[in-house]
Amino acid sequence: MRVSAFVACAVACVLASAVIVVTAQERGIGLDKLRSGSTYMGADLRAMQADEFANTGMLWVERGAKLWNARAGSAAKSCSECHGDARTSMKGVATRYPAWDKGAGRLLDLEGRINQCRTSRQGAAPLAFESEELLGLTAFVATQSRGMPIKVSIDGPAAAHFERGRALHQRRIGQMNLACTQCHNDNVGARLLAENISQGHPNAWPGYRLEWQSAGSLQRRLRACYSGVRAELPPYNSADLLDLSLYLAWRAEGLPIESPGIRR
């Protein structure tokens, strides 16, 4: 009796530890080794990003600030009427996105959350991805968390999205048959032509990309990576891009929001 109880206990312990190993969040890059993409840029671009006036992304932040105060939709309400001064009410918000939204019943990134407000509270049409307005509002909200560490929740309904995002990050895609991990985990710091491969974090977005000569969202930047490995671009707001965004935010835990970032 005692032996079988002991064995049962031992088996239970082994199973429990096996379960712990399986659900352990193994990080391809340890939290203490995280480096923002800005550390892979030249000094000129880092200075441009830090320049509160001349950071080109600020043109979109200013547009967002104007939109924050503008009445919109059938409800004729502005963001400010509910949320007041964004410097207070939006402080820290961007660090928590993407997030599972109970009201919407789905995973939302910051753009999605803004559009959720527009449709459900303002009675306004959602703003198109990469539109001046959505970029402006998202950049304006995100920059209220500038310097604050990313910390997203992957609990509850978000867990399934997180797992899916992680699988996507590790999956080979495209004509080049490359997974994100192969550049951004395994070959960080290596050269791709004249560029240094970064760890591929989302903390600069929305930001100004010199290659685009425009501001853009994280989703656009991810689509650019799909393009880079010659894979089909997932549509904006697709499950793939959202799940990947959540996984990337978890992977970047502790890195400061840099929006509006400057990137090549």
Partner 1 sequence: MKNLPRSLPFSSRRRALLAGAAAAPLLPFHARAQDNPEVQAYKAFVGARAVRTERLVLDIPRIADNGNVVPVRIAMPGPFLPGAEVKSIHLFSEKNPVPQMAVFYFPLPLARVEVESRVRLAGTQRVAAVATMADGSLYSAMADIVVTVSACIDGT
Partner 2 sequence: MADARIQVPAQIRRGDTFEVKILIRHGMETGYRLTDDGKQIPRNVIRLVTCRYNGTEVFRIEPSSGIAANPLFTFFVTARDSGELVFEWVDDAGERASERAAVTVAG
208 or 250: CB nearest partner 1: 208
Q: Mapping DSSP to helix (H, G, I), strand (E, B) and coil, where does residue 256 land?
A: strand
45 binds, among partner 1, partner 2, none (CB under 5 to 8 A by kind): partner 1
Whichever of 51 and 85 has its CB closer to partner 1, that residue is 51
7, 72, 83, 88 from 78: Cα distances, Å: 65, 6, 9, 16
Tokens encoding 10: 């031992």
β-bridge partners, 191: 196
Is 58 a binding residue for partner 2 by CB under 8 A? The answer is: yes
Query: Closest distance between partner 2 and the C-beta of residue 60, in Å?
Result: 8
CA-closest candidate to residue 161, choices 82, 107, 85, 81: 107
- Which stretches within 154-262 are classed as H helix? 158-169, 180-184, 218-228, 239-251
Q: Is 117 a catalytic residue?
A: no
Q: Does 62 bind partner 2 (CB under 8 A)?
A: yes
Contacts of 256 (CB under 8 A, 6+ apart): 36, 146, 147, 148, 149, 150, 203
Residue 52 within binding range of partner 1, rule CB under 8 A: no
Told to check if 59 binds partner 2 by CB under 8 A, we report yes
228 binds, among partner 2, partner 1, none (CB under 5 to 8 A by kind): partner 1
Residues involved in catalysis: 225
Binding site for partner 2 (CB under 8 A): 53-54, 56, 58-59, 62-63, 208, 213-214
Binding site for partner 1 (CB under 8 A): 41-45, 47-48, 56, 192-195, 210-213, 216, 220, 223-225, 227-230, 233, 264
